[in-house]
Structure 1
Amino acid sequence: MIHAGSGGVGTFAIQLAKLMGAYVATTASDRGYALVQSLGADRIINYRKENFEEMLSGYDAVYDTIGGEVLEKSFQVLKPNGKIVSISGLPNARFGREANLGWLKTTLLSIVSHRITTLEKKNQARYHFLFMKPSGLQLERIKGYLEDGLIKPVIDKVYDFKDVGQAFQYLEGGSAKGKVIVKMK
């Protein structure tokens, strides 16, 4: 399950998951339906008309790009021992330990992520906050996928650098389908 499949991260995540052989469910609006379908999504939930947590169950994993209530509801679609990876939720104590943040910061993360930890236990799931780190090996692999045409970037709009404010306003509006590019020259 990949949330916001027609967004900048979602369009890439769907293609990568399909390349890895996954069955992919995603959320999208009417406007994004054809796009996520063209990227290979197997099941599309219209988040404006349907509740994904009522439509899906037994999933191995959820990739959360939204956080908040959507993240919390995502636990309901997992099978036991399923995993949620989030780029928008809160880091938890596990993240603090793995990142060697020390006792105090790890304890604070444990406190602020208590609700997520409770949902993890209740649903027999595993939650991971993903903090993006550069990896030459991963970038080299992705470069190969792009060069071989196995993953195609989805570009919504291109702005000149002088219009960067407009680009951010467009992104904040939440209707971008794919990536928004700002040209430096």
Structure 2
Amino acid sequence: MKALQIARYSKTDLSVQLTELERPQLAPREVLIQVKAAGVNPLDNMVTRGEVKLIVPYQLPLTMGHECSGVIAEVGAEVSDFAPGDRVFTRLPNKRPGTFAEYVAVEASAVALMPQTLDFVEAASIPLTALTAYQALELLGAKASESIFISGGSGGLGAMAIPLAKARGLIVYTNGNAASHERVLGLGADRYLDYKSEDYLKELPQVDYVLDSVGGKELSREMKLLKAGGKIVSLKGLPNGRFARRFGLPLWKQWLFSLVARGLEREAKAQGATYEFLFVESNGKQLHAIAQLIEQQGIRPSVDKVYPFTEANAALAKVAAGGAAGKIVLQVGQ
């Protein structure tokens, strides 16, 4: 089968190489998915740069890709929830990416039937961002009538985080590029700011929660938006000790991450708030709940552009450049 791999980490070369591999052999609790489409994410470029190797120590060469939609081709001997021909979507377990390929073997516990209302391209755009939003809202303990600021809501994350937050009854504020104003309001956002001309610290009231997708210096600014007792979950900040314990990392990494995130913890505490870091994990049950919500509420994800499998490097470059109005997707099979 054809697959797209990296053989080394690189800060400057984010490209993948087309290679031929044997079709995966199934373990008893796995399913084999014939991939139809695969989502392309900032996480893919972070992996290539080596930015997450302390969290997940991959073995190279590595087949890339973390989410996909497709059709089940085979099921393992101990799988009873799925059958060949089922239309499914998945976010693969962290230690075994590989959706940039014609076939992928994945634990059945990470898989769910895709929403019947969506096609393969739309379904492939959902798992990673939707699970990120779902798990972030769980970690925040977000409740109806409370408020949240979602940074960068015009991109792929916002396309799922905004409707999921609204489904919980939250008041949702977000920002992004001016061109996406009406589209993002259509997702359910209560207020949308142009990040170039409107400062959320000046324009918005203090909020209960922040979902940060930017990191860096913006984290400190976003903390100032929080009410006393508020919480911020970052996808791009520094991992902290609580994250390391939840993620089951060894004790030395728990100690290391507690040390490196100490400054962010102090900043949050000075605001009377709490800082958390999130690295999304696979979860078929949560994905099933997300699929039901999508069907019930008629949610349609925002897809910016679809690239053919042979143009994966252009897709990765588009994600790295930022500014996409929704998700970037690879068309793998017909």
Q: Give the TM-score normalised by the residue count of structure 1.
A: 0.94
Aligned match of 1:9? 157
Give CA deviations for 1:65-88 in whole Å, capped at 9, x if unaligned.
111112221111111110111112
CA distance in 2, matches of 1:48, 1:147: 35
Offset at residue 103 of structure 1 (A): 3.2
TM-superposed CA distance for 1:149, in Å, is: 4.1
Asked if 1:126 is matched to 2:274, the reply is yes
Letter in 1 for 2:318: Y
Pick from 198, 209, 222 the counterpart of residue 61 of structure 1: 209
8 Å contact from structure 1 (residues 19, 150) kept in 2: no
- What is the percent sequence identity of the aligned residues? 38
Query: Which is higher, the Rg of structure 1 or of structure 2?
Result: 2
Task: Quote the offset at 1:171 in angstroms.
Answer: 1.2
Q: Which runs of 5+ in 1 are unaligned?
A: none
Q: Displacement, 1:17?
A: 0.7
Distance 1:101 1:175 in 2: 33
Mean Cα deviation higher: 148-157 or 119-128: 148-157
Does structure 1 residue 153 correspond to structure 2 residue 301?
yes
Deviation string for 1:126-165 (max 9, x for gaps)?
1111121111221011111222343211111000000111
What count of residue pairs does the alignment treat as equivalent? 185
Q: Is 2:317 the partner of 1:169?
A: yes
Of Structure 1 and Structure 2, the greater helix share is in 1
**Equivalents in 2 of 1:158, 1:8: separation in Å?**
13
Q: Is 1:86 aligned with 2:234?
A: yes
| Amino acid of the structure 1 residue aligned with 2:226 | L
TM-score by length of 2: 0.53
Q: Name the CA shift for 1:15/1:131 in 2 (closer, same or farther; >3 Å).
A: same
**8 Å Cα contact 1:93/1:110 also seen in 2:** yes
User: Are 1:182 and 2:325 matched, yes or no?
Assistant: no
What is the SS of the residue equivalent to 1:158? strand
Q: Which runs of 5+ in 2 are unaligned?
A: 1-148
